Amino acid sequence: MRWDKSLRLDFRFQNANVVLTSQTPVGIIPPPSDPSEWLDGYTGYYVRLTDGDGRVFYVQTLRDPFRSEAETYGDDESSPLDYAILKEPEVEFSILVPDPGFTFTLEIVNNPLQPEIPIYRLARQSFTFTIDPAEFIFPPMVVSREVEHGAILGVEKIIDHGPDDKCWTICILAEGYRADEMPKFVSDAMKFVDTFKSFGPFDEFWHRTNVYIVKVSSTDSGADLPAQCQDGAPPVSVDTYFNASFCGAVGNKRLLVVDQRTAKKVWDNFAPQAHVTFAMVNSPIYGGSGGNVPVFSTNGSAALIGIHELGHSFFKLADEYETPYINDNPDNYPNLTSRTQLADIKWKDLIAPGTPIPTSRNACAGDPFAHPVPDGTVGLFEGGLYQACNVFRPEKNCLMRTLTKPGFCAVCTRVIRTKLSQLLGPDAPNV
Ligand SMILES: [Zn+2]
């Protein structure tokens, strides 16, 4: 089932409860319902919408909104991906759901199977809301704290492929640009657009993709470089709208973070029609982070950070790297599996006859091996989801595993293609 109207719902974690802080109707296509089989044993949070007769008509898995960490990147794009604890927990989150035209029940469900996450143990419970789409709860306005540091100068549609209710829409917020640097922001945003529009499979949907920019000026240019970033050089402190800073966690120099609450407020107020929103930070230093609003710098390689994070946020792809973090269940994600028999592998139709299964194994239960197969071979490669053992990914490399692989594997590509085809309907390219 498809809808052409959405509700943008904003929630805040407050006093061990979750409250709905705003409800805004937007004339855009909501993300398609996730396949119900993704919920079997799902270890994280998901949203479930039920009509007056108790029928579930929409589900959407969520990355844990209560985790307070972000992916980090090493000194350059060839360093392994890792996770780090953020100083400030992210306790606000947005969900875009269909507006079905009738009152419905929305549950934020926390599956009891969710693994214990040692970082931030907030409410491990479910929350229920009755949503009347005719109601309107205004999003919190952008207030003095932000405007002391800059101003919203305007919103522009820089790529216009049609009405927003027929397109997939992304938005880029300016951070660390002075008012006189707005021409540079427009040109930096266009450079990102140039990377994005030729990046598979987004290139196939480019004719149905819109791009907005929000021209946000800052008092100063750039981003903070705290002392722990500077190897003895003097720290740099600048006054910017979203308070961008490298070294978002000690020891992770390239973890570039912004004030996510402010970024979300600007998104809600100035570009609610965007399915996804990024913050672009005016700094040539390589860095970025995930979150409600993925962040990346203007360094030429940093665009891939934004695209990797988009793989998580809109397409629910799992990380395929092995750096230890938490133990999660690979069977909940479309691009990973715990199964080693060909018949049980969710991407078995993409595996060419004769491909050895498993294709590679780490030194877990026995000796490691790697069958020599050409790059791009779809098979069963051990390692992924922060674990070296008993988790398998589809290809040797993928943008969800390493930022040096400038593309998604065939399975991640298919997930993205399927979701965008469902979103955009019959005149999008066929899957
Ligand atoms: Zn992949």
Q: Provide the Cα torsion 179, 181, 183, 187; round to 10°.
A: -130
Give the domain range for residue 351.
Answer: 342-420
Q: How far is the CA of 222 from the centre of ligand 1 (A)?
A: 33
Same domain, 197 and 292: yes
Residue 374 one-letter amino acid: P
pLDDT in tens, 207-245: 999 999 999 999 999 999 998 878 888 899 999 999 999
Handedness of CA 341, 345, 351, 357 (dihedral sign): negative
Residue 78 domain-assigned?
A: no
Q: How far is the CA of 403 from the centre of ligand 1 (A)?
A: 12
Q: How far is the CA of 397 from the centre of ligand 1 (A)?
A: 7
Q: How far is the CA of 307 from the centre of ligand 1 (A)?
A: 13
- Unique residue bearing structure tokens 């994070």: 309
Structural domain total, the chain = 3
Provide the pLDDT for residue 73: 59
Same domain, 368 and 311: no
Q: How far is the CA of 378 from the centre of ligand 1 (A)?
A: 10
Q: How far is the CA of 410 from the centre of ligand 1 (A)?
A: 7
CA 140 – CA 270 distance, rounded (Å): 12
Provide the pLDDT for residue 112: 59
Provide the pLDDT for residue 123: 46
Q: How far is the CA of 409 from the centre of ligand 1 (A)?
A: 4
Peptide bond between residue 112 and the one before it cis (omega within 30 degrees of 0): no
- Cα of first residue to Cα of last residue in the chain, in angstroms, is 17
Q: Provide the Cα torsion 271, 245, 88, 45; round to 10°.
A: 50
State the burial class of residue 11 (Cβ atoms within 10 Å of its Cβ: 0-12, 13-18, 19+): buried
Q: How far is the CA of 217 from the centre of ligand 1 (A)?
A: 37
Q: How far is the CA of 335 from the centre of ligand 1 (A)?
A: 6
* Residue-wise DSSP of 57-88: EEEEEE--TT--EEEE--SSTTSPPEEEE-SS
Q: What is the pTM of this model?
A: 0.88
Same domain, 313 and 175: yes
Residue 376 domain-assigned?
A: yes
CATH of the domain at 260: 3.40.390.10
Q: How far is the CA of 393 from the centre of ligand 1 (A)?
A: 7
Q: How far is the CA of 314 from the centre of ligand 1 (A)?
A: 14
Same domain, 189 and 243: yes
Residue 139 domain-assigned?
A: no
Where do the H-state alpha helices sit in 31-176?
144-147
Same domain, 258 and 207: yes
Same domain, 175 and 307: yes
CB atoms near residue 65 (< 10 Å): 19
Provide the pLDDT for residue 111: 63
Same domain, 187 and 149: yes
pLDDT in tens, 124-146: 567 899 999 998 888 777 665 55
pLDDT in tens, 8-20: 998 887 766 788 9
Same domain, 121 and 179: no
CA 140 – CA 129 distance, rounded (Å): 19
CA 175 – CA 76 distance, rounded (Å): 22
Q: How far is the CA of 133 from the centre of ligand 1 (A)?
A: 37
Decide: helix, strand or coil at residue 15. coil
* Domain boundary residue, one of 103, 131, 159: 131
Residue 419: pLDDT band with limits 50, 70, 90: very high
Q: How far is the CA of 419 from the centre of ligand 1 (A)?
A: 15
